[in-house]
Structure 1
């Protein structure tokens, strides 16, 4: 008797992935979690040792833990995105502004002395980021577009845009980079 193929394993265990996604109340509109579960199933199939226990138990363990890891990662990314947006919005305004036809303008009064917009800083930032990283800053932070809208506009994948965001956030958190562009936060 030969080894069972992965295709057979997949047919028998596809519902197992869906079970764990549903059990953990994960919304998966783009099938990212299903794909992660599928990779976990493949890794479990590839590394399974019969003497260690039953195959089904091992599959459950691997799939569930990979989904938990992905949930934690997504939560961390969302938290970092929020912190980046908050820090960048401080650059744009001190809170005393109003929207006029899509442009920010300071409110009249004593706030006229406060610099609400520093084009030099934005220019330095643009010069020190890649084209894709700058696209993410402009679209996500300044224009407040969603990642999926940016991906559609730039004709790329959501994962690619998320990669630009990770690279940019890494740079923006680096003290040496911030000193290089003159951003003191």
Structure 2
């Protein structure tokens, strides 16, 4: 694809990118996620096959998927950093991971349902389906808990960085 054509794609799909970043509540690191979305858009322009459907639908799926992957990666890195810092502070005790970790600090700002999601998803590594089954609710309810909890945790993280 030519450079001029890609610049036209950027102009055309900027509203989609902004919308997805906002929908996924990733505005705390807007430029990073915008860059990830633009990379996904470029990859779409390189791999698109006209015989398989419309470009806009393909771009939507790929951009959203790239943003979700980047968000999951951020959460994974955060978990690893928290685990490392706990073990560095308390090398003798792995039980300190759950009692003294920074996750406990973030739990204080969450509702009971959000804490339930955090406990089971992050610490017990359960899937959304497993949490929903355990709690006797729909998967959509658990997704709602997750979304709200992540939003609050991001706000707490941003306030501690300043």
Residue of structure 1 equivalent to 2:145 = none
Output the CA distance in 2 between the equivalents of 1:10 and 1:25. Answer: 21
1:32-90 C-alpha deviation (Å, 9 max, x unpaired): 11100000000001111111101100000000000111111000000000000000001
Which residues in structure 2 correspond to 1:163-174 (within 5 Å)?
none
Which residues in structure 2 correspond to 1:16-35 (within 5 Å)?
16-29=16-29, 31-35=31-35
Higher alpha-carbon Rg? 1
What residue ranges of structure 1 are gaps of 5+ in the alignment?
Answer: 96-147, 150-185
Q: Would the alpha carbon gap of residues 3 and 91 (structure 1) be closer, same or farther in structure 2, given more than 3 Å must change?
A: closer
1:110-152 C-alpha deviation (Å, 9 max, x unpaired): xxxxxxxxxxxxxxxxxxxxxxxxxxxxxxxxxxxxxx89xxx
Judge conservation of contact 2:21–2:30 (CA < 8 Å) in 1. no
Output the CA distance in 2 between the equivalents of 1:78 and 1:28. Answer: 15
Residue of structure 1 equivalent to 2:9 = 9
TM-score normalised per structure 2 = 0.53
- Measure how far apart 1:23 and its partner are: 1.1
More helix by share: 2
Residue of structure 1 equivalent to 2:65 = 65
Output the CA distance in 1 between the equivalents of 2:92 and 2:16. Answer: 48
Residue of structure 2 equivalent to 1:56 = 56
TM-score normalised per structure 1 = 0.46
Q: Would the alpha carbon gap of residues 91 and 11 (structure 1) be closer, same or farther in structure 2, given more than 3 Å must change?
A: same
Residue of structure 1 equivalent to 2:82 = 82
Residue of structure 2 equivalent to 1:38 = 38
Q: Would the alpha carbon gap of residues 3 and 32 (structure 1) be closer, same or farther in structure 2, given more than 3 Å must change?
A: closer
Judge conservation of contact 1:28–1:34 (CA < 8 Å) in 2. no
What residue ranges of structure 2 are gaps of 5+ in the alignment?
Answer: 97-160
Judge conservation of contact 1:6–1:45 (CA < 8 Å) in 2. yes
